[in-house]
Structure 1
Amino acid sequence: MSLRQETYGSFWEISGLYSEASAAPPAAPTEFTTGPLGFVVPSVVSNGTSEVFEFCAISIDGHPFSFILENQYGDKVNYNSRACGYDVPHQTTGYSPVCSNSDVHYGVAYNPSSTYEWTLSSGGTITSDPNLNEINVHWTGGIGTSHLLTIREVNPNSCLKPLEIPVTVQTSTAEQMNCIGDLQVSLDKNCQAIITPNILLAGGPYTYTNYAVIVMDKHGYIIPNATVDGSYIGQVLTAKVMNICNGNSCWSKLTIEDKTRPQIVCANDTILCTRMTSYLKPYVYDNCDPNPTKELLDETIENTSCDPNYSKIVTRVYSAIDKSGNRSSRCTTKIYLKRIPLDSIVYPDSFSLITKNPLTCNNFEADSLGHPLPEETGVPTLYRQSLYTNNYQKYCDYSIRYYDLEIPDPKSCNKKILRNWEIFTWTCSSFDKRVFNQLIEIVDRQAPTILALDTIRTTTTPGYNCEVELWIPPIKTFDSCGSEVRVDLVYPGGIITDFKGAYLKIPADTNVLKVRAYDKCHNVDSASFVVIVQDLTPPVAVCDKEMVVSLDRFGEAWVPAHVFDDGSYDECHIKSMKVRRMDNGVPCTFNSTVFADSVGFCCQDVGKLITVIMLVTDHHGNANSCMVQVEVQDKVIPTVYPPHDVTISCERHINLNDLSEFGSATVSDNCVADLTEVDSIHIDQCREGYIDRIFVAGNALGYTVAVQRITIINEHPFTEKDIIWPYDFDTTTCQTNALDPTNLPDTLGYPILIEDFVI
C-alpha cells in the first residue's frame, strides 16, 4: 500500500490491519503500535516537495480495515476499506441440504485456463471425474449429519480461494410451502446477509432444515453459501427455496439494502491554524461504505487574540452520510489552532545567473507589470504549506504581502527584480514582522520571431534595366521578452542594416531575400521570403528589310539567324534568335516548319524573293518576330570538262552525226547548267584532217567553252616501196597481144601495189 502526501510519520489509529510478521493462522495476528510513539511509515520516494511512504500489512479475509496517519506537522489522513477477500469460484449448480441416498449435481463456471479439484470430507461419494468443473455426488450420510464439499480452482491469471459448500443430510417430509414474492434484505454490521429458508418462506410451520436456498445474481451465477454483501446493494436477486427431498420449490425476488447508519467519532484536536483547510474531520466508520461523506453542520470560531499560543478555537458539529443515504448521529469537536511560528517559515529561493537558475522570459505566468507571479517563483511556506494569499485568514492572525522593485542595469539586456516579502503576526498586545528579499533575474535566451513573410509577385518596370523599383515594407517581428528588435535585410543589391522599409531595385528573377532579426541580447532569428519579378515585356525584333543571299558551290546557302538581325533588343537581354522560311521550305526539301538557328536556301530559290521570319526570345520566355525578303542569287559560272583529244586512223569508220563514242563532256555547276555541242569537221579527200567538238556550258550568269579535237591521219602513206614492178623479159613472139600485161604472168604483167592502194 502506497500513500502520497506531503509527509507522513507515525500511525495515529489503526483497525483491521496487522503486522506482516504475524504468526500464521490460526494464531492471532500481531497488531501495530499506534500513537505518537507508534510505528513509523518509511519513505521510499522523495522529490524534495512530496514523498511516497509505503508500509505492508495483512488483513483478515472478509474483514474491513481502517487507519489514520499523522505527520510531524499535525496533518492527518484516514483510509477506510470495507470487508474484502479472495475471489471464489462461481457456483452454477448444486445445493445444501440434501436428501439422504440422493444424487446431486454440482458445478462452477468453466474457465479453459483453470484446473479443478473437488474433495468431499464425508457423507457421500463423488461419482464423476473430480477434476472437472462439474461433478455428481451420491449422498449416503445419516439424517442430520453435516459434511463439507470443497472445490479448488487454480488459474494462472487470478488468485482464488477454495469454495466450501456445507451440506446437511435431511429426511423427506411432505410440507406445503409458500415463498414471499418480493423481499427487502438489509445487510448487517459486516455488510453481509445470509439468506435462509426462514427469511423466504411464508406460513408454516416448516422444518427449515429440510430446505435449501440458492441465490443467483442477474447473470444467473449462484452466490456462494447464499451470502450477499455490499456489492449487491440496489440489485434485485433471485432466491430459490427447495425441499431437497421431494423437489418442491418456490421463488422470491430480493432487493438488497443497507439500513445501517455510519458511526461517527469526534475528538478534540490541536493543529496549526494553517492546517485547518486540510483538517481530517471526524473519524467515520460504515459497514458498507468505506468513505462516507462527512458533512459540516455548524462552525463556531472563538477569537483568542490575547492567547500567546492559540489564535482561534473552532467548535464544529459534524454528521456523516453513506452511499445508501443513511445518516449518522451528530458529534461535536473542538479544534485549538496554534499560531504560526515565524522562525519556521521557509522563504523562496532566488532565481539568478549567480545561482544558475534564472527565469527565461515568456516562460512563466506574469502579472500586469510582466513580473512573474509568486506561484512561478515560490512563496513563503510553513512546513511545506504555502502561506501566500492567506486562505486561513479567519483561522490565523497573520498577513502576507510582497512588492517588486526593478533594478535598472543599462549594461545588461536582462531584467532584475527585487521581490520584498513581508509577513506580519499579531496578538492583542504585540506585533511581529519578518522581511525577506528574493532576487529574480529574467534572462532573454529566446530569439525574436519573424512573423510570416508572404511571397511578393510583380513585373519589371518598362525601360532598359530589367528590374523593378519595389517597396519592401518593414519586417514584422515579435519578441517574447519585449526587447527592441533590429532587422537586417539581405537582397540582390546588398545588405541593409536596421531595415525599416524602403524602395529597392529588384532584378527580374525569383529572388530570395533573407531577413535576420536581433534582440538586445543578440539572440537572432532568420527567415527568408521570395520576391518574384516577372519580365512580361517581349523583345523588340528588328530585321533587315531585304537581303541578297548567294548560293555556294554546292547550290545551297545556310544563313544564321543573327544575320537577319538589324538591332533587336530586350531590357532583360536576348536569349536566342531563331529563323524559318514562311513557305515551310518549299520547293527546297528543308524542314522549315520549326524555328532553327539558321535557314537554308537552294537552287530552286534562285531568282525568287523568299520571305523569312526571325523569332527573338528573351531569358524569360517572351518572344517577338519580324520578316525579311531574301533574294537568292547564283553567282557561280559553270565549268565544262571535255573529253580528251584523240587521234584516229583515216581507215576508221566514224559517224559524223554522233561522236559520243569519243566521250562526253562533263559540267561542274552548283545548280543546273545548259550544255550544247557544236562539231566543226575538217576532212580532205584523203579522209585526213580533224574534227573539233565544241562544248558550251552556261547559266544566267555566263558560259564556258571547251573543245575536244579528233585528228584523222593516214597511218601508212603511199610510196614507191609500195610498188612491185614487173620483171623484164625477152620474147620472140611478134604478136602484139603477146605483150599485153594481162596476158603475161603476174611477175611480168602489171605492177603490184602493196597496202591500201586502190585502183
Structure 2
Amino acid sequence: MFVFLPVWLGAQVPVCNDFVQLSLDGNCEAFVLPDMVLEGSYPNFDDFTVRITRLDGTPVPNPVTGAYIGEPLQYKVTHEPTQNSCWGMLVVEDKLAPVLVCADATLPCHADPEPAWPAWHPNHPGGDAPFPEILENCTPLEDLTVNLVSEVVDDAQQCADPQPGDGSAGSVTIVRQWVAVDAAGNESALCTQTITIVRPENIDFPNDIVWTCEQSNAFPNVLDPTPLHPFITDTDPGTPQIIEVNLDPESDDDDGSLPFPPPNDTKDRPDINSTNIANGGNGSPGDTPPNNGLDDADVLELTGSGTPARIDGPYCQYGYVHFDVVTNTCTGAQGLIKITRTWTVLDWCTG
C-alpha cells in the first residue's frame, strides 16, 4: 500500500516582485509584509521575513517612514525554514492629500476680516478670521503650500436691517475657498469658508473720564480723542458711566536702572516699555523682570480719552466727528480742566 503525502515545494523558492511602490498611511509609515512583495500564493506567509536596506546596505526600519520618500530601497524576503530568499526594489511614496477643515465665523465689523495666518505661514499674523485646520500625514505644516484660491465679497445686505432691535444693522458675507498642496504634490479638495461681518445697530460712546491735572500736564495726549488704552480701568465701580483713573503705584519697572547713557537712562522709555513685543514689552503692567513691563507712565503715554467703540472697520459704514468745549484749565498740579466733548456719528447707510 502506498500513501502519497502532498509536498509543497514553492515555499522553498520564493519569487519577489522586481519593483514595488509603497504608499505611506495616515501616520506617514508603511509596514512591508511578505504578501505585499511576493509573487504568487503561499500556504503560510508567516514563514517569511522581510529585510529592507538602502542601496549601500544600511538597514532600514520596518515600518518604513516618510524619511525615505522617493529613495529607492532594496528588500530581501527569506523563507525561514529553507533559508531560500529573493530580492527586489521598492520606492516609498506619499499618495495621501492634505485635508482642510474650514470653520465659518461671524465677526464684528471692527474686526480685521483677514485670515489669522498661523505662526509658520509667511503672512503671519494676519487678522481675526479663522484659518483652516489642516490634517496632513507626512509634510510638516511649514512646508505645506496653503493657498486662498478665491474670495467673493457680497455686500448686498450691508445696509439691510430686517429685524430692528436685534443688534445688527446689516451684514457682509465673504466666501473663501482654500486648497493645500503637500511636499509630494498631493492637492487637497477645495475647502469653502463663509465669514459674516456684522454692523452694530447701537453705538458704544466713550464714558466720561476723570484725569488728574498732574497726569494731563505730564501727558497732554490723555485728553486727545483717541482710543483709551486697555490698561486704563475704572477705580470706582459705583459710577459706571464715569472712569476714575488711578493707576497702580506698584506698576513701575524703573528703566533708569538700565545701563544706557544720559539722557536715555530715565524712566518710562517708550522703546523699552511697549505693548509691542518686538520692543521688549510683554503686554502687561507691573514690575516684570528684566524691566520690560508697562508702568504707569507708559500707559499714559499710549492712551487718549476714548472714541466711539467698535465702529472702525472697512465694512462698518460709520464715521464720526467731535466738538470740544473747554471750560477750565489746570494750574500746576492743582486745579481742574473740564472738556465737554460732543460726538456725532454718521451712518453712511442712512445718509
Q: Return the TM-score normalized by structure 1.
A: 0.26
The residue number in structure 2 matching 1:639 is none
Q: Which has the higher strand share?
A: 1
After superposition, where does 1:195-594 map in structure 2 within 5 Å?
195-201=32-38, 204=40, 209=45, 210-216=47-53, 220=58, 223=61, 226-230=62-66, 232-234=68-70, 237-266=73-102, 268-273=104-109, 274=111, 276=113, 277-289=127-139, 291=141, 293-303=145-155, 304-308=157-161, 309=168, 310-340=170-200, 342-343=203-204, 347-348=228-229, 355=247, 363-364=269-270, 377-378=302-303, 392-393=313-314, 395-398=315-318, 411=332, 424=345, 426=347, 428-429=349-350
Q: CA deviation at 1:405?
A: 12
| Cα pair 1:307 1:427 within 8 Å, conserved | no
Write the distance in 1 (CA, Å) between the matches of 2:300 and 2:23: 51
SS of 2:11 mapped into structure 1: coil
Write the distance in 2 (CA, Å) between the matches of 1:375 and 1:187: 58
Q: CA deviation at 1:316?
A: 1.4
For the aligned residues, what is the CA RMSD?
A: 5.2
Q: Which has the higher helix share?
A: 2
Write the distance in 2 (CA, Å) between the matches of 1:302 and 1:387: 21
The AA in structure 1 aligned to 2:131 is K
Deviations 1:70-113 (Å, cap 9, x if unpaired)? xxxxxxxxxxxxxxxxxxxxxxxxxxxxxxxxxxxxxxxxxxxx
| Cα pair 2:75 2:89 within 8 Å, conserved | yes
Q: Which has the higher contact order (CA 8 A, sep 6+)?
A: 2
SS of 1:339 mapped into structure 2: strand
The residue number in structure 2 matching 1:188 is 25
Q: CA deviation at 1:229?
A: 4.0
Question: Bigger radius of gyration, 1 or 2?
Answer: 1
The 1:429–1:275 alpha-carbon spacing in structure 2 relative to 1, beyond 3 Å, is: same
Out of 2, 7, 15, the position equivalent to 1:177 is 15
Write the distance in 2 (CA, Å) between the matches of 1:238 and 1:381: 71
Q: CA deviation at 1:175?
A: 1.7
Q: CA deviation at 1:213?
A: 1.0
Deviations 1:486-508 (Å, cap 9, x if unpaired)? xxxxxxxxxxxxxxxxxxxxxxx
Deviations 1:671-714 (Å, cap 9, x if unpaired)? xxxxxxxxxxxxxxxxxxxxxxxxxxxxxxxxxxxxxxxxxxxx
Deviations 1:386-444 (Å, cap 9, x if unpaired)? 969x5x42x443458999999986746xxx9x9x89795735126xxxxxxxxxxxxxx
Q: CA deviation at 1:299?
A: 1.0
What are the ranges of 5 or more consecutive residues in structure 2 without an aligned counterpart?
Answer: 1-7, 114-126, 162-167, 207-226, 234-243, 253-265, 274-296
Deviations 1:9-59 (Å, cap 9, x if unpaired)? xxxxxxxxxxxxxxxxxxxxxxxxxxxxxxxxxxxxxxxxxxxxxxxxxxx
The 1:222–1:315 alpha-carbon spacing in structure 2 relative to 1, beyond 3 Å, is: closer
SS of 2:82 mapped into structure 1: coil
Deviations 1:331-385 (Å, cap 9, x if unpaired)? 333221122464398943559995456998762259xxxxx99996258999xxx
SS of 2:269 mapped into structure 1: coil
The 1:264–1:176 alpha-carbon spacing in structure 2 relative to 1, beyond 3 Å, is: closer
| Cα pair 2:106 2:195 within 8 Å, conserved | yes
The 1:173–1:266 alpha-carbon spacing in structure 2 relative to 1, beyond 3 Å, is: closer
Write the distance in 2 (CA, Å) between the matches of 1:381 and 1:183: 69
Write the distance in 2 (CA, Å) between the matches of 1:190 and 1:284: 14
The AA in structure 2 aligned to 1:175 is V
- Percent identity over the alignment is 25
Write the distance in 1 (CA, Å) between the matches of 2:94 and 2:320: 49
Q: Return the TM-score normalized by structure 2.
A: 0.50
The AA in structure 2 aligned to 1:194 is F
Aligned residues: 243
Write the distance in 2 (CA, Å) between the matches of 1:207 and 1:354: 86
Deviations 1:512-565 (Å, cap 9, x if unpaired)? xxxxxxxxxxxxxxxxxxxxxxxxxxxxxxxxxxxxxxxxxxxxxxxxxxxxxx
